[in-house]
Homo-oligomer: A and B are copies of this chain.
């Protein structure tokens, strides 16, 4: 089986088998369909949501198995229905496709990053009206996904809403485009301005002071978790969106799962005590997804190999994705 963009993308490594009897999708794995090279080109026009796996984590500073998340994510679909009971939204009335995984190289990380840029641009070309969900992988992929979008539409100004415990503004000259650098990468390459970045969730003792100074020099907006909690997560998100949407054409949302408290996210090695609760993150993601200018998102830094037995973090990552789609449908 070829991916539709083959050889640019690998097909997912497995596909769910849809039971004969099921005429309507009721579970997510019955709803999201792999898009193969053989698929009718006409069908691509109707696509609302595009899922792409970005299985790269050898660019992580600390050893990471986040490259395993795209597969774990797809396996988790079976445990979710398409119906959001809280909001009364049924995802299955929309069309969602899984275009497979960006191909990676074992020892050439630069080539991996180039592949992501290329894939991101190609997806924008083929699905200009769809919402794109990139499933990481580590945070280095965010810079590449956004660069791909920029390459596809150089005239569109892109802004970023980031849920994160860290600035991710490390110096690229230290260790190259690692998972600690995506925001700085975008600033320094001129793709996104610092003042068009809004980081929600910073807290504790997990950023050095010089990164904060860099952020301030470049006008990066950040709201610490303590402040966001006092204002309300939803209200904080709405305020950021209001300010950002004045300045940009397109908003990209990046969810670094390490924004969560470690009690909620054993499968995110970089998560810490004092982070967001599940309810807070889901509220924030739902709020951001409702905004018209949000066109793409990613979920990064979730390492299924470190998750505990019953896979709370993999399930939570999948829930974040579905909650984002729900928000999009509520626009």
The interface bits of chain A over 45-88 (1 if a CB of B lies within 8 angstroms of the residue's CB, else 0) are: 00000000000011111011111100000000010111111100
The quantity of this chain's copies bound in the complex is: 6
Partner of A17, one of B12, B63, B229, B274: B12
Chain A residues bordering chain B, tally (CB within 8 A): 87
Q: Is A331 part of the contact surface with B, judged by Cβ < 8 Å? A: no
A2: nearest residue on chain B (CB-CB)? B20
Cβ contacts under 8 Å, A34 to chain B: 17
Q: What is the bound-complex CA distance between A1 and B208, given in angstroms?
A: 22
Q: Is A282 part of the contact surface with B, judged by Cβ < 8 Å? A: yes
Q: What is the bound-complex CA distance between A263 and B86, given in angstroms?
A: 20
Could you tell me if A107 and B109 are in contact, using CB atoms closer than 8 angstroms? Answer: yes
Q: What is the bound-complex CA distance between A312 and B268, given in angstroms?
A: 11
Partner of A205, one of B81, B140, B206: B81
A86 in contact with B226 given A106-B59, A175-B106 (CB within 8 Å): yes
Q: Which has the most chain B C-beta neighbours within 10 Å: A58, A68, A269?
A: A58
Q: Is A254 part of the contact surface with B, judged by Cβ < 8 Å? A: no
Could you tell me if B273 and A319 are in contact, using CB atoms closer than 8 angstroms? Answer: yes
The interface bits of chain A over 14-57 (1 if a CB of B lies within 8 angstroms of the residue's CB, else 0) are: 11111110000010100000100000000000000000000001
Report the 8 A-B pairs with minimum CB-CB distance, sorted nearest first: A107-B176, A106-B175, A63-B65, A273-B316, A58-B58, A106-B178, A80-B205, A262-B312
Question: Can you sample 10 A-B contacts with CB below 8 Å?
Answer: A26-B209, A63-B303, A80-B204, A81-B207, A83-B205, A83-B207, A106-B176, A205-B322, A261-B264, A274-B279
